Amino acid sequence: MSYYQLLKKIRKIKAIVQRSKPDPVWLLSTRSTLLMQVKNTLPVEAPRKKEVAGELYKFVSPFFNFSKMIRKPVFAGLAVIVTLFGGSLFSVSAAEQSLPGDFLYSVKLATEQARLAMAKDSKDKVKLKTEFTERRVDEMKKVIAAPDANKKEKVIQTAEVLKRDMDTIKQQLGDMQGKAGAQDIKDTAKMIDQKTSAVVQALQDSKLEMSPEEKAKITEAQEAASSASVKAIEILADTHKTDGDVVSQQDVADVLKTHGEMVSKTMSQSFGSMPAIDAASSTTLGSASGTAMTTTTSSNLQKVTEAQKSLSEVDQLADENKMDEAIAKLKVGTQQAFDAQKTLEQQAPTTGTAVINEPALPSASSTEPVQNTTTTPDASTSTLESSEVDTGQGG
């Protein structure tokens, strides 16, 4: 007999059994006999109060036995809550400490997205996103400080995330324009200006002892930060035009100045940390690669000079209340500065191979041409050697 045959038979038996009815006569006679027996033996005296209370309790106890009734669903509910929220809280708090490349890092980014989605308005969103960019900078510092075989990948990943965040800020600033009030725009633009300057500066500091690839990525992030800052300045300048009472000329001039100083300082540091190429000594050696390098370096230094010139004009234009022109100059100067920086970083050998000279840049306020610094013959040779290697790689 198969399993299904067996079950079929059981169902058949059940159906037959269900149809079985006791004999009605027997039913009645048994009923009357039993009732007679019950009546005859039923106690006559009234039940004692204690007995009544006991029976009453038994009857109503299921309704009042809260511990029994509630225990299971409450514990089940608590278990679910603890699992969902406790677990996620634990995960999130653990994720907060995670660094790029860690298993929980994506959780951290997702949590940030969730916080961003819950922000009440565009001002809060920008503020929150700016906070997150500071986190990225902290992560970058930690990644650099920690000994790790995959440090390079992690640095690149962090720089990419930071660049993306900065692009998002720029986009959010665009969304904010026309929606937020003049005061909010003023506060946000100033905050962005300060924070992005800090981010660019911090990234500049972290660039020391980095490979060209890492430096390139970090510079891209810096450029994105700078671009977000310029966007904030543009919005502030537009608001100044429409609502001059709230956003004064001085407000716009201040942020322009902060940004210009930030770019100048970054350039100074960047060029100060690079090998100064002695054009004269390279030319004397007469190699083709040396000549090419010298040409590249000269054009790059030209870019730096032009950038400094553009930046120095920004203050003057701002003082004259020519904000559009000042911003245009700022954009040009910033672009030139970062282009020069990128070119230098591509040319630069890894650390420790070149002689580091004093910065050959003029100050932001000066428009004097760059003065070459003298180097020792040994230093010139080592610089040339490294230049040849780099040019070879570039070819």
Partner 1 sequence: MTQLIDRYLLYRLKIKRDPDAFAKIYDRHIESIYRFVIIKLPRKEDAQDITAETFTRLWQHLQNQKEITNLRAFLYQIARNLVADFYRNRDVISEAQTEDVTFGLDLTSNVTQTDMGRGKDQIEARTELALVLKQVDKLKDDFRDVLALRLIDGLKFSDIATILNKDVGHVRVIYHRALKAIKDLN
Binding footprint of partner 1 on the chain (CB under 8 A) = 1-3, 6-7, 9-14, 16-23, 26-27, 30-31, 33-35, 37-39, 41-44, 46-47, 51-52, 55-56, 58-59, 62
CB of 150 to partner 1, least distance (A): 50
Say if CB 109 and CB 129 are below 8 A apart: no
**Looking at beta carbons only, is 47 or 77 nearer to partner 1?**
47
* Distance separating alpha carbons of residues 188 and 255, to the nearest angstrom: 11
| Short-list 296, 298, 233, CA closest to 263 | 233
CB of 46 to partner 1, least distance (A): 8
**Looking at beta carbons only, is 34 or 389 nearer to partner 1?**
34
Residue in the block written with tokens 């603890």: 82
**Looking at beta carbons only, is 4 or 103 nearer to partner 1?**
4
**Looking at beta carbons only, is 22 or 286 nearer to partner 1?**
22
**Looking at beta carbons only, is 60 or 356 nearer to partner 1?**
60
**Looking at beta carbons only, is 75 or 90 nearer to partner 1?**
75
* Distance separating alpha carbons of residues 107 and 93, to the nearest angstrom: 10
CB of 112 to partner 1, least distance (A): 45
Instruction: Give me 150's structure tokens.
Output: 């995959």
Question: What residue ranges in the chain does DSSP mark as E strands?
Answer: none
CB of 70 to partner 1, least distance (A): 19
CB of 11 to partner 1, least distance (A): 8
Q: Please give the full DSSP string across 127-176, using - where no structure is assigned.
A: HHHHHHHHHHHHHHHHHHHS--TTHHHHHHHHHHHHHHHHHHHHHHHHHH
**Looking at beta carbons only, is 34 or 81 nearer to partner 1?**
34
Q: Please give the full DSSP string across 325-347, using - where no structure is assigned.
A: HHHHHHHHHHHHHHHHHHHHHHH
CB of 66 to partner 1, least distance (A): 17
Say if CB 231 and CB 170 are below 8 A apart: yes
CB of 71 to partner 1, least distance (A): 16
Say if CB 140 and CB 158 are below 8 A apart: yes
Say if CB 287 and CB 384 are below 8 A apart: yes
* Distance separating alpha carbons of residues 177 and 170, to the nearest angstrom: 11
Amino acid identity, position 77: G
